[in-house]
Amino acid sequence: MSTVVDVVIIGGGLVGGLTALLLAEGGVQATVLDAAPVLDAAQTLAVANPRVLALSQATIHLLKTVKVWDKLARQMPYSGMQVWNKNGYGDINFGQVSVHTPSDQQALGSMVEPSVLNLAIQEKMLEQLHDYRTNVQVTRVEQGIDVWHIHLADGTQLSTKLVIGADGANSFVREQAFIALDVLDYKQAGLTCAIRTAQPHQHVARQIFLETGPLALLPMASLEPEQDGYWQSIVWTLPDDYAEEYAALDDAAFTALLTRESQHMLGEVLQATPRAQFPLKARAAQQYVKAGLALIGDAAHVIHPLAGQGVNIGCLDAAILCDVLLHDRKRGVWAHEQTLQRYEHRRKGQNDAMMHSMSAIGWLETTSLFPVVWARNFGLKQVQQRPALKDAFMSQANGLHLLKDTCYAV
Ligand SMILES: Cc1cc2nc3c(=O)[nH]c(=O)nc-3n(C[C@H](O)[C@H](O)[C@H](O)COP(=O)(O)OP(=O)(O)OC[C@H]3O[C@@H](n4cnc5c(N)ncnc54)[C@H](O)[C@@H]3O)c2cc1C
C-alpha cells in the first residue's frame, strides 16, 4: 500500500510552480511532477525568446510573495500603452512615456520572457520543495475511493487526496478526468519574433491596427546592455495565408515590411530574430473541479493570446485555489468538494467572461493591451479625454482587486 499524500501537482510550469510555492508558504508541501527537464541557466539566458509575457501587478505581487521575482535574470517594466489605427480613426494612450526605467510605482506591469520566468520558478522549487520531479511521464490518472492514483512510466504509483492539473493547454489530467472542453478556432495565426528598432521604446507597449490585423510591439530586455531600450517582441495577428507568407520572408524583406507597417513609429526596424507562428484558438474546460481534482491555468482555459492575460489569469487561479485550500485547512478540512467548488465559483465565471470579450468581432476586442477592451465599451474618445476613467480601467487591469478578499491581498 502506498501512502496517500495531500496533494500532487501535475505540471510544474508557471502556474503549477506558483501554486506549489504558495502552498509551501502556507505550510503544505506538494509533490510536483513535470514532463520537462530542469532548464540549463546559461543556455536559457543566452537566447532571447521571440515572445514575452505581459505580467500584471497582481502576478508580480504573487511572484514577490513566493520570492521568485528577485530571481528573474531579466525583465522590462513598462509605464505606458499606446494603441492606434493605421487609418486614423481612434487612438488611446494609458500611463506615460519613461526615458529611464520606471519605478515600481510608475510601472503598469512588466514584460518577461517565458523561459526566464520558468527558470526562476524552477530554481525556487528546487530550493523550497521536498518532492519536485522533472522528466516525469505520467501514464494514467484514475479516481479511487476518496483518492486519486497516479501511474508513472517508470512503474511508480502515487496516491493523493488532491490532484491539481496544471499541465497546460493539452492537459492530460483534464482528459483522464473526462472533463469536456469547448474549443473556438479563430482561424488566424500569431506571428512572433524579437526586433530591434532605431528609436527606443521608452517603456511603452504599442499596438497598431492594420488591414491585415493588429500588430503589437512589446518592450523587452536586451541581451546586450548597449542595446537596452531598443528591443521589442512583436505579436502580429494575421489570416493564416498572410502569416505563412510573412514568416517565409528573408530578414531584409521582413524588417522592411515591419518598418512600413509600423509607420516608422520607432524608426527603421534594424534586426529581427527567426519568426515563430502559432494558431489562435480559445479553449475552456466545462468544469474546473471534480471530487479531489482541480484544473488551473491553461489546463482550464486558454484565451486569445492577444489578450496578453493568459498567465495572469492562471496566476489568479493559483492564488484563489491556494487561498480556499489553506483557509479550510486551518479548520481541519483538506480539499473537500465544497472547498474546490468555491475555487471554481470564484474563477470560472470571470475567466469565461474575459474569454468571451476577447472573442467578439472587431479590432478593439483583439488588442493585447487589456484596458483598451474596457475602454471600448465606454467609447474610445470619451475615455481618452477623461483621466479619471482611464485610472479606473487601469486599476481593473492590474488584477490587484481580485486578490482583495484573499490571504494575498496587497
Ligand atoms: C504566443 C503567445 C503569447 C502569449 N502572450 C502572453 C502574454 O503576453 N501574457 C500572458 O499572460 N500570457 C500570454 N500567453 C499565455 C501564457 O503563455 C500561458 O497562459 C501560460 O504559459 C500558461 O501557464 P501554465 O503553467 O498553465 O501552462 P504551461 O506554461 O504550458 O506549463 C505546463 C507545464 O506542464 C508540463 N506538462 C505538460 N504535460 C505534462 C504531463 N503530461 N505530465 C507532466 N507535466 C506535463 C509542461 O512541461 C509545463 O511545465 C501567451 C501564449 C502564447 C502562445
- Whether residue 394 is contained in a domain is answered as no
Q: Which of the two residues, 183 and 289, has the higher pLDDT score? A: 289
pLDDT number for residue 214? 84
CA–CA distance, 303 with 233 (Å, rounded to integer): 19
Same domain, 61 and 145: yes
For 364, list phi and psi in degrees, rounded to 5: -65, -30
Same domain, 191 and 340: no
Query: CA 315: distance to chain centroid?
Result: 8
Average pLDDT over residues 219-235: 93
Residue 104 pLDDT class (50, 70, 90 cuts): confident
Element (H, E) at 279: strand 276-285
CA–CA distance, 258 with 243 (Å, rounded to integer): 13
Same domain, 290 and 275: no
Average pLDDT over residues 256-267: 94
Query: Collapsing DSSP states into helix, strand and coil, what is residue 168?
Result: coil
- Whether residue 123 is contained in a domain is answered as yes
Q: Of all residues in the chain, what percent carry a pLDDT higher than 90?
A: 70
pLDDT number for residue 382? 65
Of 58, 55, 67, 163, the closest CA to residue 113 belongs to 55
Inform me whether the pLDDT recorded for 370 exceeds 80: no
The mean-pLDDT minimum among 14-28, 181-195, 266-280, 352-366 falls in 352-366
Inform me whether the pLDDT recorded for 363 exceeds 60: no
Of 327, 349, 365, the position where a domain reaches its end is 365
Ligand 1: residue of 9, 14, 62, 135 to mutate (most ligand atoms within 8 A of CB) is 14
Same domain, 37 and 174: yes
Same domain, 286 and 168: yes
Same domain, 125 and 160: yes
pLDDT number for residue 281? 84
Average pLDDT over residues 354-373: 55
Of 262, 280, 298, the position where a domain reaches its end is 280
CA–CA distance, 79 with 98 (Å, rounded to integer): 7
Output the CA 365–ligand 1 centroid distance in Å. 22
Same domain, 249 and 126: no
Q: Mean of the per-residue pLDDT values for the chain? A: 90
In DSSP terms, 206 is beta-bridged to 82, 217
pLDDT number for residue 393? 66
Q: Which of the two residues, 279 and 341, has the higher pLDDT score? A: 341
Same domain, 35 and 131: yes
The mean-pLDDT minimum among 9-23, 87-101, 174-188 falls in 87-101
Residue ranges making up the domain that contains 57: 4-69+114-183+281-365
CB 20 within 8 A of CB 132: yes
pLDDT number for residue 7? 98
pLDDT number for residue 184? 83
- Whether residue 398 is contained in a domain is answered as no
| Atom of ligand 1 lying closest to residue 56 CA | 11
Output the CA 298–ligand 1 centroid distance in Å. 6
- Whether residue 393 is contained in a domain is answered as no
Residue 373 pLDDT class (50, 70, 90 cuts): low
pLDDT number for residue 364? 45
Query: Which DSSP category does 330 fall into?
Result: T
Ligand 1: residue of 8, 18, 39, 53 to mutate (most ligand atoms within 8 A of CB) is 53
For 335, list phi and psi in degrees, rounded to 5: 55, 35
Q: Which of the two residues, 365 and 188, has the higher pLDDT score? A: 188
pLDDT number for residue 361? 37
Of 228, 24, 190, the closest CA to residue 111 belongs to 228
Tens of pLDDT, residues 140-188: 999 999 999 999 999 999 999 999 999 999 999 999 999 999 988 878 8
Tens of pLDDT, residues 233-253: 999 989 889 999 999 999 999
Residue 191 pLDDT class (50, 70, 90 cuts): very high
* CATH label of the domain that carries residue 169: 3.50.50.60
Ligand 1 within 6 A of 261 CB? no
Ligand 1: residue of 34, 116, 232, 277 to mutate (most ligand atoms within 8 A of CB) is 34
Same domain, 221 and 340: no
- Whether residue 42 is contained in a domain is answered as yes
Ligand 1 within 6 A of 308 CB? yes
Query: Which DSSP category does 39 fall into?
Result: P
- Whether residue 349 is contained in a domain is answered as yes
pLDDT number for residue 365? 45
Average pLDDT over residues 44-70: 94
* CATH label of the domain that carries residue 200: 3.30.9.10
- Whether residue 404 is contained in a domain is answered as no
Residue 306 pLDDT class (50, 70, 90 cuts): low
Same domain, 163 and 296: yes
- Whether residue 101 is contained in a domain is answered as yes
- The residue whose CA has the least distance to atom 12 of ligand 1 is 310
Ligand 1 within 6 A of 138 CB? yes
Contacts of 144 (CB under 8 A, 6+ apart): 159
Same domain, 201 and 92: yes
The mean-pLDDT minimum among 10-14, 182-186, 232-236, 343-347 falls in 182-186
CA–CA distance, 383 with 391 (Å, rounded to integer): 10
Average pLDDT over residues 120-141: 98
Of 260, 280, 300, the position where a domain reaches its end is 280
* Burial category of 27 from C-beta neighbours within 10 Å (exposed 0-12, middle 13-18, buried 19 and up): exposed
- The count of domains in the chain is 2
Output the CA 182–ligand 1 centroid distance in Å. 18
Same domain, 296 and 322: yes
